[in-house]
Every structure is written in structure tokens, then in C-alpha cells.
Amino acid sequence: MSKVLVTGGAGFIGSTLVDKLIGEGNEVVVIDNLFSGREDYINPQAKFYNIDICSAEVAGIFAKENFEFVYHLAAQIDVGRSVADPINDNRINVLGGLNILENCRVYKVAKIILASTGGAIYGETEEIPTTEYVPTYPLSPYGIHKLTLEKYLNYYYQVYNLNYTILRFSNVYGPRQYKGGEAGVIAIFIDNAVKNKESIMYGDGLQTRDFVYVDDVVRALSLARNIDCRGEINISLGKEINLLELRKNIEEILEAPVKIKNEPGKLGEQRRSCLSNVRAKDVLNWEPEIGLTEGVKRTINWAKSIL
Ligand SMILES: NC(=O)c1ccc[n+]([C@@H]2O[C@H](COP(=O)([O-])OP(=O)(O)OC[C@H]3O[C@@H](n4cnc5c(N)ncnc54)[C@H](O)[C@@H]3O)[C@@H](O)[C@H]2O)c1
């Protein structure tokens, strides 16, 4: 059993990770300011601090709790919002992350695991599925700031010997996904469809994504605690699908229309995204287990259960 901090543990992926870590017998502490997370998602067996990751109070929590492992998931996750307000995105995703890292160093955490992005870090690339060895040219402040924090992790390892693993997720979906802003097209399509409301399709719908189910992602995060491998690992289904095909799939499974209103494409939006998961198999012994049809079914069932 380990003492583990999950920043962003009230969020979609974070709260699912907290459930898994507690199920494995770990003692879990959550730091989250509930910007996009929900207190009722936090497992009652976890200890919860409702604070901002940028706050000076973070140091007091590290001093008191003595964490062995830190999962850093708290973030501003909306690419569109990062384009509209890059300074705020930098404050949360770089300075907030640096605050967590500094405390990991001072309080001698054994390892930090970072939730990074594969979907927004490589930029447009010829290599599809994209491996971790492709140069990174992010097209948004969000991607740039995630990459910046990745570089800080490597710096803290080289200079202070703080161990780390970086997981670069493709587009994650599943129950509890935040539906505000522009994050999570599957969550938005399903939520609106079960409420018989319209969703907005930005651009021509031929932009592609690679969707990975949240339980698979959380299993990868859990495994990352116990590997001795630094550097970046893509976590993805490894299958490219465009948004028109995705809409059709959801309609077939839901047996109801996904109503769409078309609007122009967004600034900073990537055209194609699909990540290779070969390295994850090699170094993490991880492969996705839940395909898109099964994952969408589970997400629809959850969306209906909270109507
Ligand atoms: N969902 C995806 O497709 C995806 C893909 C790649 C990477 N990621 C990364 O995974 C992580 C989790 O994302 P998610 O999809 O669960 O999003 P989410 O918005 O549900 O979770 C983020 C959590 O961070 C909290 N938070 C935000 N700003 C904070 C602050 N300043 N201080 C404290 N807490 C703060 C939010 O309240 C929320 O609970 C993020 O780091 C995100 O960048 C997500």
C-alpha cells in the first residue's frame, strides 16, 4: 500500500483513477479546485483538499501527507480556451505543474506520473499512427504548455533524480467526462443525443481522432507507478476515425439521431490525430482492451442512467 496524491482527482480521468487506486488498497489524497471536477465524483475513502494547484498551500499538504507517488492530472484541458487565453493556460498548466514538481522535489516523492497529451503535442504529422519519436510541433498553447511541463519533469530527473513517467493520452472518453467547453466530442454528442438536443460540428467533420476508453487509460496510469522507464509513452486505441464516422457509430448504437449544427472549424484544431501504442506494449505491458463500440455502449448507458 502506498500514499498517493492525485491532482485533478475530482475530474473525469482523475476520479476514475482514484477509485482504481483505492480498490488496489492505496491511501489516496486529492487536490482539486473543482473548476471542471465534481466533489461527488471523489471516492469517499479519499482525503480531499479543495485548493488550486498554483496555491502556496500545496506545500503544507506535501509537508503533512508525505506522499510516495504523485499523479499530476489537474489541468486546464480545453484547447479552445487555451487559444483564447494562453496566459491563464500557462498559469495553470505550467506554473501550477511546476508548483507540484517543486514540492515533489522538496518532500522527496519517489515518483511523479504526468497525464500529458498525444492528441495535441505532435501537431500535424506525416506519420500516422504517430510514435513518440516524431518531433513535437504543438498547434495550441495547451499542447505547448503540456510539452513544457514534460521538459521540466526531465530536468527534475536529471538534476534532482526525481523519478517520472509521462503518459501521452489520445482522446479519452467514458463516464463522468466533463461536457463544458469544447472537451470530449463523444461526451458532448452522447449527452445531447440522449437529451434530444443538437451538438455543434466544427469544420467539415473529416478531422480524425483516436479515442481511448477511460478504464484502459486508468489501468495504464496504475501500471506506470511500478515501471522504471522515463520518457513519454502514448496511450491510445491506435485507430483513426473521423467525426462523421463517429457520429454514425453513435447513432447506430444509440438507435437515435445525433443532431448536428455545422459551424466553421476552430483555430488551433488539428486535422488528423492517431497515436501508435507499440511503445506502451513494450515498456508498460499495456494494450487497450475496450474497443470503440463497447466503450460507446458503456458511455451511453451511463449518460442514460444520470438523466
Ligand atoms: N480527456 C482527454 O481526452 C485527455 C487527453 C489527453 C490528456 N488529458 C489530460 O488528462 C488530465 C485529466 O483530464 P480530464 O479529461 O479528466 O479533465 P477534467 O477537466 O475532468 O479534469 C481536470 C481536473 O483538474 C481540476 N483543475 C483544473 N484546474 C485546476 C487548478 N488550477 N487547481 C486544482 N485543480 C484544477 C478540475 O477541477 C478537474 O477536476 C489533464 O491533465 C488533461 O490535460 C486528457
C-alpha cell belonging to residue 177: 467526462
- Distance (angstroms) between ligand 1 centre and the Cα of 276 equals 23
Four-CA torsion 223, 225, 226, 227, nearest 10 degrees: 80
8 A C-beta contact, residue 83 and residue 270: no
Mean pLDDT, all residues of the chain: 96
Q: Is the CB of 171 under 6 A from ligand 1?
A: yes
Q: How far apart are CA 303 and CA 258, in angstroms?
A: 14
Atom number of ligand 1 nearest to Cα 14: 16
- Write the CA distances from 259 to 5, 115, 167, 256, 302, integer angstroms: 40, 32, 34, 9, 20
The domain spans of the chain are 3-173+212-238+275-289
Amino acid identity, position 288: P
Outline where DSSP puts E strands in the chain: 3-7, 27-31, 47-49, 69-72, 111-117, 163-169, 171-173, 199-202, 208-209, 211-213, 232-235, 241-242, 260-263
Measured between alpha carbons, how far is 11 from 195 in angstroms, rounded to an integer? 22
Cβ 52 under 6 angstroms from ligand 1: yes
Look at residue 92 in the predicted model and tell me its pLDDT.
98
The whole-number pLDDT of residue 13 equals: 98
- 201: which strand partners? 262
Pairwise CA distance, residues 39 & 175, whole Å: 15
Q: Is the CB of 290 under 6 A from ligand 1?
A: no
Q: Which of 116, 34, 12, 26 is nearest to 72 (CA)?
A: 116
User: Rounded to the nearest whole angstrom, what is the distance from the C-alpha of residue 256 to the centroid of ligand 1?
Assistant: 30
CATH number at 3-173+212-238+275-289: 3.40.50.720
pLDDT tens profile 122-166: 999 999 999 999 999 999 999 999 999 999 999 999 999 999 999
CB of residue 147 inside a 6 A radius of ligand 1: no
pLDDT for residue 294: 98
Active site annotation includes 142: yes
- Lowest pLDDT segment from 27-36, 90-99, 154-163, 181-190: 181-190
pLDDT of residue 89 exceeding 70? yes
Handedness of CA 36, 38, 43, 49 (dihedral sign): positive
Protein residue whose Cα sits closest to atom 21 of ligand 1: 11
Task: Express each pLDDT in 284-302 by its tens digit.
Answer: 999 999 999 999 999 999 9
Q: Among 111, 124, 130, which Cα is nearest to 225's?
A: 111
What distance in Å separates the CA atoms of residue 132 and residue 276, rounded to the nearest whole number?
Answer: 8
